[in-house]
Amino acid sequence: MAEHDADTGAGAGADPEVTARAERGYLLDNRQSEAGTRFEALGELFDPVTFRHIDQFGLRAGMRCWEVGAGGPSVPLGLAERVGPTGAVLATDIDTSWLADLTDLGGGVIGTRRHDVAADPPPAGGFDLVHARLVLVHVTDRAEALRRMIQALRPGGVLFLEDADPALQPLLCPDESGPEQRLANRLRSGFRALMAERGADLAYGRTLPRLLREAGLTDVRADACFPITSPACAVLEAATVRQIRGRLVAKGLATDEEIERHLANVATGRLDLATAPMVSAWGRRP
């Protein structure tokens, strides 16, 4: 887990151990202030997709869900609404900073726990639904994480994984019509380089249906989507770039002047920004 640091984590006087961990860990550290903005934008962009699928799985009152790498509150709250006071939602993350109020907000249905999906024992209890969105792409030991999520399902329970596939559609501006769009796409390519350096698999999304089948799940299905032009794409992009700008500059992937120019271009709302495609895949434990 990356320690909190506003810039590159490599400033004068930094503890070398903390710096070394920051260089290895999750790039978009939840303890940075932009993380809350990013979670809200992700919710706006992807919650409708996530719940369109979940509402087809037959989730109902009294059921138990595990939301893995929950990040912010929106998905746990949506699950709590569906399972009601007789159900239960466990929201876990390696960093629960943005889940603090959930126990009260969820009317006692939601529990939160700091938990590393690839390293900690899966919670007991036989879940009806285990869901992880945009999490596994960042986890180095993805195969172990997948095994642990499947172990946590009751027979007949659904594993629902949603993950990005930036290599499938790598552009921030698919319509590269001018210098603003070209700069945007170059900075996006720098962001991908930083993610890859930390062990992210940038072509992971497309593998999900096969991985679920190979893990023995049945009724495996998948689809994919990516928004273009949503105002939330601009909010997400500005917050992400602010969060990683120190690292982009330190690695020579962008200058401060280019980053300022890009942020001003994004703020005009005229770039037709896209996200990476998100693959949604699901299957049942026999």
Ligand X SMILES: C[S@@+](CC[C@H](N)C(=O)[O-])C[C@H]1O[C@@H](n2cnc3c(N)ncnc32)[C@H](O)[C@@H]1O
What residue ranges bind ligand X (CB under 6 A)?
A: 26, 30, 39, 42, 69-72, 93-95, 116-118, 133-135, 138-139
Give the nearest distance from C-beta 36 to ligand X in angstroms. 11
CA distance 28 to 35: 7
147: burial class by Cβ within 10 Å (0-12, 13-18, 19+)? middle
Between 26 and 66, CB nearer to ligand X: 26
Between 198 and 261, CB nearer to ligand X: 198
Sign of CA dihedral 200, 6, 112, 1: positive
Give the nearest distance from C-beta 280 to ligand X in angstroms. 12
188 phi, psi to nearest 5 deg: -60, -40
Between 49 and 271, CB nearer to ligand X: 49
Please say whether the beta carbons of 215 and 152 come within 8 A: no
CA distance 226 to 205: 12
Query: What are the residues facing 158 on neighbouring strands?
Result: 129, 284
Give the nearest distance from C-beta 230 to ligand X in angstroms. 15
State in Å, rounded, how far the first CA of the chain is from the last one.
34
Between 226 and 265, CB nearer to ligand X: 226
CA distance 99 to 170: 31
Between 139 and 208, CB nearer to ligand X: 139
Between 70 and 217, CB nearer to ligand X: 70
CA distance 59 to 128: 8
Give the nearest distance from C-beta 145 to ligand X in angstroms. 7
CA distance 18 to 251: 19
Give the nearest distance from C-beta 81 to ligand X in angstroms. 17
Residue nearest to ligand X (CB): 71
Give the nearest distance from C-beta 286 to ligand X in angstroms. 26
CA distance 200 to 146: 15
